[in-house]
């Protein structure tokens, strides 16, 4: 089933410089008076070992991993846009 899901919904995502197949898992984050869209990815690569602050390139944006867990045996990573990425000296 994972192969079918990856083929139908998977997208190329670059994590720490390595291209990996992942599918978006959107959810509504509700924290009392604050609410918004949360973004996480289900990663279809069992060799990937998630770490906080992993660098992710997806949908032409730079992200970083804020937390992770295993979901049906696959890494699920939560993302926060990294507005500082690409602004280091020498990357213009």
Mean pLDDT, to the nearest integer, of 63-79? 94
Adjacent-strand bridge partners of 18: 15
Whether 54 contacts 41, CB under 8 Å: no
User: Tell me, which fold does domain 2-81 have in CATH?
Assistant: Thrombin, subunit H (2.40.10)
pLDDT digits (tens, 9 = 90+) for 29-39: 566 665 556 78
pLDDT beyond 80 at 47: yes
Measured distance CA(26)–CA(78) in Å, rounded:
10
Angstrom distances, CA of residue 39 to CA of 42, 59, 87: 10, 12, 23
The closest alpha carbon to 52, from 68, 37, 39, belongs to: 68
Quote the percentage of the chain above a pLDDT of 90.
59
pTM: 0.78
Measured distance CA(49)–CA(35) in Å, rounded:
29
């Amino acid at each position: 089933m994972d192969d079918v899901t990856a083929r139908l919904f998977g997208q190329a995502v670059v994590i720490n410089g390595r291209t990996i197949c992942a599918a978006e898992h959107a959810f509504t984050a509700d924290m009392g008076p604050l609410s918004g869209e949360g973004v996480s990815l289900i990663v279809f690569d069992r060799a990937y070992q998630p770490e906080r602050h992993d660098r992710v390139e997806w949908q032409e944006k730079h992200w970083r991993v804020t937390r992770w867990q295993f979901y049906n045996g696959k890494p699920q990573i939560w993302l926060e846009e990294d507005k500082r990425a690409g602004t280091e000296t020498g990357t213009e």
